[in-house]
Amino acid sequence: MTGTTRLTVLGAGVMGTGISALALGHGLPVTLIDPDSEQLARAEARIDQELRLAQLMGTLPPDTRTGRLLTTGSPGELGEPTAVVEAVTEHAGLKAELLAEVSARVPPGTLLVSNTSSIPIDELADAVARPADLLGTHFMNPPSLIRTVEVVRGARTGDAAMAAVAALLGELGRQPVVVRDAPGFVTSRILHPMINDAARVVQEGTATAEAVDALMHGCLGHPTGPLRTADLIGIDNLVDSLQVLYLRTRDEGCRPCELLLDKVRAGKLGRKSGEGFYTYQEDYR
């Protein structure tokens, strides 16, 4: 990429706001698009919170002026981005529809990124005008605090797109690790079935969520425990990812357990809803 990087982010949920905050904190201008006006308003407040936290944690470059944020409800108001990051919920049809619309509007060579935790990039590439411009990333939550980013090269991703994402992540102070395309890639293929198993242990009455996390942290070195991680991911997002994995691999370990499904039905989605396996003082939606 040459000149000033201009980022457009599709989706003002947890990951869309997190990626936007990361980019803004590194001085990049961001256009954030979501058709839900209330979601956009919440996103602006959440971005301010994330920027303050990142500044307190010292994870933003010093003496860098925060980038300009524009918000809009229309995918037709892309601006003139050098890169577009799609960060909507983990539904292949919705992602493909948005990427198709965007790819028809931007010039050839514009980097198109799907921030997905599980959907193979080559499936999404069927929808876009130029598959060579499309690749996948899997930013971890919160993006401003986790430096490593999983980068997924699809079968039709071009060298220019790979160079462009490396340059973008370099501007954002992130370390890319490139993997091949497959359902769940590396992180979700390993982590999400493990969380499913942890929830199943609680469902079966073997241990409480607190006990599972204490053992996984104290005995096995997991930083937070799998069920606190589930709350951070969003239990609805976790279930969506597990369903993608199950449908594409038929691995029974990826079939969401009933406890996870019950929590989604009850609206207990984790940190963003104020309650999941644990309770939280703030609703981050």
Residue 3 has a CB neighbour count (10 Å cut-off) of 6
| Strand 30-33 versus strand 7-10 pairing type | parallel
Contact 92, 244 (CB under 8 A): yes
**Residue 138 a catalytic site member:** yes
CA distance 78 to 72: 9
What token pair was written down for 45? 């407040």
Among the listed residues 26, 138, 192, 222, the single catalytic one is: 138
Q: DSSP letter string over 2-33?
A: -SS--EEEE--SHHHHHHHHHHHHTT--EEEE
Q: For residue 130, give the nearest of 153, 91, 99 by alpha carbon.
A: 99
Q: Which residues are catalytic?
A: 138
